[in-house]
Amino acid sequence: MAKVYNWQLGREMLYPYEERHSKRQFAFVFNINRCIGCQTCTMACKSTWTFSRGQEYMWWNNVESKPYGGYPHFWDAKLLAMLERANPGGQVWNAAAVTGNRSPYGVFEGKTIFDAVSEEQNEEGETFQETSGRVLGYLPSDDDWDAPNIYEDTARRPENLHRRWGGEGASLPAHQSWFFHLQRICNHCTYPGCLAACPRQAIYKRPEDGVVLIDQQRCRGYRKCVEGCPYKKSMYRGTTRTSEKCIACYPRLEGKDDFITPDGVPIETRCMAACVGKIRMQGFVRIARDGTWERDPDNPLYYMVKEEKIALPLYPQFGTEPNGYYIPPRWVPMDYLVQMFGPGAAHAVEAYVCPSRRMLGLLQLFRVAQKIIARFKLVEGKKVGESEVSLPSGQKKTLEIFNDTVIGYDTKGRQVVQLTVEEPLFERPQEHYNSI
Amino acid sequence: MSKESNRRHGRDKEPEADDPMELRMVPVPGGDPVFMATCLIEEYARLGLDDEAILALFRQPIYQTHALYEERGEAWVRNLIRGVLARTGRLRVSVTVLHHIGGGDG
C-alpha cells in the first residue's frame, strides 16, 4: 500500500493507490441543528435516480435518527466495533497536536479502515487482508437494508395506544429521549473506501470536481465497494448485477445542460435544492497540490470548514477524508459528538451557538437559491440588538445582531441573492402587556 | 425453589445485538430533552418563526420534542417557547432574489 496524507487525521495513512488530487472538490455542509427529518431530500433523490426495479431499497440520500437508527441498520456501530477489535483501546486522538491547515483537529493515533486490514482477524486467526481485501468493512445483510427510519424518530407512542390494546398489563417507564437527524449522502471522499476495494478499478474520481462514480460498463457487481464503503453508500442492484451510488447529480453540477441550467452555472443537487429546513449548502473548493484546501475565505464552504471550523467531517477516523461536513447538534452530549465528528466538536458547537458576525450572515444564505453560491460578501450595518446565549461549557456570552447584508455570488461572479438581517423582533409576554 | 422463580422473564434478559426484534430506542447516557427543546426553539427563532409556528412542530409526533409535549402538556410548551423568545427575539431577515436567477426545477 502507498502512503498518503490525510489532513483530517493530521497524518499519513496507508491507501492502495498513490496520492493524487482533483483540481477542485465537490463538498457540502449540513446544519444538523435545523433538520426536522421531513425526508423531502430523500424523496427528491429517490424520485430522480432510484425509482426503478431493483432499486427499491436504494436510498442514495437518507436521513436517519441518531443515536438510535441508521441505514443500513447499525452501519456505524458495527464498523466502530470492528476497528476497536482490530486496535483495542487505541482509537484515540491527540487533540493537542493541532498544526494549522495540515492537521486542524490534531492527530488521530488509531487505525483507519485501510490501516486495520492487517490487524483484524477472524476465528481462524486469518487477517481481514488475507480473507477479504484491502479495506476493513462488512457486507450488510438483507435485514440491515430493511425499513429505513421506521420508528426511529417516533418520540413517543400515541396517547391512546395503551387504551386501544386493552389497558391491561405492565406499564413501562417513558424514556427521556433526545435525538437528532443525520442527513447522509455519498461523501465523495478524497480517499474513497469503495474505490480502494473495487477489484475491477471500476470506480473513479473525476479530476474536474472530485465526484466519485461507478463505471457501469466495468462493474461486475462483486459488491466489494458495498463492503468497503464505511458509510455504506454504495448499493448493489440485483436486476443489473452492478453496484450503484450517489452521482452528486453531476448534470446539475456541470452547468452545461441548457434545460437544467440555462444560465450555464452549476446548480445544487436535487437533495439540496429540495431542503425545506434550509440546512444545506454545497459547492466546490480548490485543492492544493498537497491535497489541502487552497485558501479562499470568501468561499462559504472554506469559510465554515477552515476559518470558523464550525463544520466537521463525519467519522473522520475511518480515514477516507469525506467531503461532507456537518455543523454538530448542540444539545447532544459531547462524548457522542467527539466519537462522531472528532475532537473539533466542542469548538464547532461553541462557534455555532454564538456565531461571529460573518458566520451569522452566512447562515442566512443556506438554501436560498438554486444556484451554487461560490462566493459571499458581508456588508456591515449598525447594531440592532443583542441576546445572551449559554455555551455548552456553561459560560454566558452576548450575541450581537447587526443590520448586516450578506450577498451570494454564483460561479460567474454574478450576484444571486441578497439578504439583510433586520432588527430582532421581541413580542411582549402576555403578563407584561400593560407594563409600560 | 419453584419453577416460577427459576424462569427468566423477558425484562430480565440482556439485549442482544443480533436479535432482529430488539427494541431500537434505548436511552443513551447524558443529554437533556428540555435543553434539546430550548435549542430547537432558538434555531427556529433565528429562522424567523413565530411562537405558533414553533408550537406546531412540538405537536408533530415525529418531531424530536413531541415527547415533551405529550408528557408536560401544551401550556408548559407554550411557556417554554415564550420564555426563549423573550430572551432571544426572532431574527427577521429580508431576502432579495436577483432577477437573473433562472433554471432549475425545484
Q: What is the ipTM of this complex?
A: 0.82
Asked whether the beta carbons of residue A176 and residue B27 sit closer than 8 angstroms, the reply is yes
- Using an 8 Å Cβ cutoff, are A342 and A385 in contact? no
Q: Which of A213, A132, A176 is nearest to A333 (CA)?
A: A176
Nearest to A216 by CA among A191, A240, A249: A240
Q: B12 — phi, psi (to 5°)? A: -90, -10
- Tell me whether residues A385 and B25 touch, CB distance under 8 A: no
Strand-strand pairing, A383-390 and A375-379: unpaired
Q: How far is CA B36 from CA A123, A278, B1, B47, B66, in A?
A: 43, 19, 48, 17, 11
Cβ-Cβ contacts under 8 Å for A186 (sequence gap 6 or more)? A60, A212, A231, A233, A234, A245, A246, A248
CB A62 within 8 Å of CB A184: yes
The closest CB to that of B64, out of A155, A261, A423, belongs to A155
Residue of A nearest to B59 (CA): A155
Give the DSSP letter of residue A304.
I
Q: Show contacts of A142-147: CB within 8 Å, 24+ apart.
A: A143/A73, A143/B20, A144/A72, A144/A73, A144/A74, A144/A75, A145/A57, A145/A71, A145/A72, A146/A57, A146/A73
Q: Determine if the peptide bond prior to A72 is cis (ω within 30°).
A: yes
pLDDT for A246 equals: 98
Q: Helix (H, G, I), strand (E, B), or coil: what is residue B77? A: helix
**What are the φ and ψ backbone dihedral angles of A281, each rounded to 5 degrees?**
-145, 140
As beta bridge partners, residue A418 has A407, B96
For position B64, what pLDDT does the model report? 75
Using a CB-CB cut-off of 8 Å, the residues of chain A touching B85 are 426-427
Q: What pLDDT is attached to residue A379?
A: 95
The residue to which cell 441543528 is assigned:
A33
| Residue among B87, B95, B103 whose CB faces A417 most closely | B95
Which residues in chain A are contacts of B36 at CB distance < 8 A? 178, 331
Chain A residues with beta carbon closer than 8 angstroms to that of B92? 421-425
User: Looking at beta carbons, which residues of chain B come within 8 Å of A427?
Assistant: 50-51, 85-86, 90
In this complex, which of A252, A363, A388 lies closest to B87 when CB atoms are compared? A388
Answer whether A421 sits within 8 Å of B91, measured CB to CB.
yes
- Provide, as residue numbers in chain A, all residues whose Cβ is less than 8 Å from the Cβ of B70: 155-156, 159
Instruction: Divide the 106 residues of chain B into consecutive groups of 10 and give the mean pLDDT of each group.
Output: 56 69 66 89 87 90 80 93 87 70 41
* Distance separating alpha carbons of residues A215 and A239, to the nearest angstrom: 16
Summary mean pLDDT of chain B:
76
- Reading chain A (436 residues) residue by residue, the pLDDT tens digits are 899 999 999 999 999 999 999 999 999 999 999 998 889 999 999 999 999 999 999 999 999 988 878 999 889 999 999 999 999 999 999 999 988 889 999 999 999 999 998 776 667 777 777 666 789 999 999 989 987 877 666 665 555 554 555 555 556 666 677 889 999 999 999 999 999 999 999 999 999 999 999 999 999 999 999 999 999 999 999 999 999 999 999 999 998 878 888 888 999 999 999 998 889 999 999 999 999 999 999 999 999 999 999 999 999 999 999 999 999 999 999 999 999 999 999 999 999 999 999 999 999 899 888 899 999 999 999 998 888 787 877 788 888 888 899 999 999 999 999 988 876 666 655 555 554 4
CA distance A350 to chain B (A): 13
Q: Residues with Cβ < 8 Å from A85, sequence gap 6 or more? A: A120
Of B63, B65, B86, the CB nearest to A426: B86
Q: Do B106 and A33 touch (CB under 8 A)?
A: no
Q: Using the beta-carbon criterion (under 8 Å), do B63 and A416 form an inter-chain contact?
A: no
pTM: 0.89
Query: To the nearest 10°, the Cα dihedral for B73, B78, B81, B87?
Result: -130
A218/chain B closest Cα distance in angstroms: 32
Q: How far is residue A34's CA from residue B42's CA, in Å, rounded to a whole number? A: 10
Is the distance from CB of A47 to CB of A271 less than 8 angstroms?
no
Question: Which residues neighbour A270 within 8 Å (Cβ) at sequence distance 6 or greater?
Answer: A41, A44, A45, A48, A49, A249, A252, B106
CB contact under 8 A, A422 and B92: yes
Which positions in chain B touch A422 (Cβ < 8 Å)?
92-94
